[in-house]
Amino acid sequence: MIQKPYLVTFLICIFTLQGFNCQKTEKNQPTLPSLARGRVIYQTQCIACHNANPRQPGSLGPDVFGSTKDLLIARILKGEYPIGYQPKRKSHVMVALPHLQNEIDSIYLFLNTP
């Protein structure tokens, strides 16, 4: 038979741990940009058209390794190019992907880390 005080202490511990756990996994927390995050985003959102290896041309899109942050912001968020930039292709196949507005830094890291 478990003693009541032990049981109470045990339950308090469980609830306290649960509380910490909830705080850690709270939704909508801003995530820090990272190389790993950029890689996952690239692999899930870009390689339908670009090559899995961003240094190579893909099925539809050109190689994108080394893209500047200005280019990524203009191309991904607005579907445009920075002023004076000479695009690698003259086509207009790629639509803007504005839902990635918080991920530009991660994508930039992935496309600029040797």
Residue bearing tokens 């893209």: 67
Q: How far is the CB of 65 from ligand HEC (least distance, A)?
A: 10
**Which 6-65 positions form the footprint of ligand HEC (CB under 6 A)?**
45-46, 48-50, 60-62, 64
Question: From CA 50, how far away is CA 52, in angstroms rounded?
Answer: 7
Q: Does 76 bind ligand HEC (CB under 6 A)?
A: yes
In angstroms, give the least distance from the CB of 86 to ligand HEC: 8
Which residue in 4, 24, 27, 92 binds ligand HEC (CB under 6 A)?
A: 92
Structure tokens at 108: 């930039």
Distance of CA 49 to the CA centre of its chain: 17
User: What is the spatial distance between Cα 9 and Cα 13, in angstroms, rounded to a whole number?
Assistant: 6
> What whole-number distance in Å separates Cα of residue 71 and Cα of residue 67?
6
Under the rule (CB under 6 A), what is the footprint of ligand HEC? Answer: 45-46, 48-50, 60-62, 64, 67, 71-72, 75-76, 87-89, 91-94, 97, 100, 107
